[in-house]
Structure 1
């Protein structure tokens, strides 16, 4: 696992640093081909079954679950939401669905819950084990009524990064996505608790995605929206996620 994480990180760094090569058509085809091969192999290894990420006993939980990426959202709106315990936070469900919705935390907590103790593997090479609780994404999507042309789920977030030169900085929102197979997987949940407690701000409060068969950057924090789409091509940079757009990370980051 550590070796594979290193290779993914090294590949991302290579893509980010070698613009001339990275912009060439043939190189893009090589990267896309490798990613599709990885995705196909990952699914084929299950032999047609639903493959589950390993789950652990609570005794294996890490003493500290490291926070990575953004550790808060630097906006007045988020600080106000935090001050009121996220009582008015809403998770939108939109796109190719029959029943769009605006879900409160109370709505999320009233749904059937799944608790799982899993290992989080970061592209930087570190891991931590934590217990996550929340409804399965499949429950939310089934209630919304996903339309037949849907192929992907886009996760919208409140956090962002500032990009560009010092004299022309611009806000780029964090987002991520997955295909319908991962969206409907039993271990894909919208988590509101970590280790039996309310999700800490540094770990993505009040809601974060858990896609347990994917590397850590796919587990979007500060979740505000679930958008069901047919294609990722016209969304932000078109690569399916923030780090995929800005640094060339693989979209399919299956473990």
Structure 2
């Protein structure tokens, strides 16, 4: 039996393919059940974020486990298995443990030291527990990984400064337009990334923050938390004409804005 870590991330895979392989939260119970019932896998945790999809498992055989994960990701994404294999990385035993600890510590993130990934690792483990897909081996592994991630942030300086994609986005906007304080900003989306962006904008002293989202109640909730203004999605183009900065954080599969929509505003 081996501990295996198999997946792909923002460095190994084009974004269009990575998005297709990323497991949506609503599909996670079925994904965990299917993987745990695979021929060569027993315990399974699926870590699925904006920038990575990784399967951690206790496998009867490494190569058999790799094949099970490859076939699952290919079927989920609707891609040929060989196309998925071109982008997968795989680790086993000590290297799998090392990889998970590196991920939990934020060392493998787009923004090194980012805060969100530790919570995402914890959520992935808890989701697997709920579905009965994890046992003592991966349970112990993930407990130690979460502890390692906490220690990395409390005992080193890795989490200081810009430590999230949302903070990096606000810093970039501040750099590009001179100063973001007092400026009007439109945030499209109302999920975790949007919430982090809104907090970063408030910390940076942004002026009016507009929040647009398909779910009106969620847009109102997020806008209210920062003293901003909710905008209905069908009023998006009117809002664009009066903002200085646009930040999109939506996970929608369909296009909300196209380049042509913005050219007329320049």
The answer to whether the superposition gives a TM-score over 0.5 is: no
TM-score by length of 2: 0.21
Choose 1 or 2 for highest CA Rg: 2
Q: Flag the structure with higher strand content.
A: 1
Higher relative contact order (CA 8 A, sep 6+): 1
TM-score by length of 1: 0.22
Q: Flag the structure with higher helix content.
A: 2
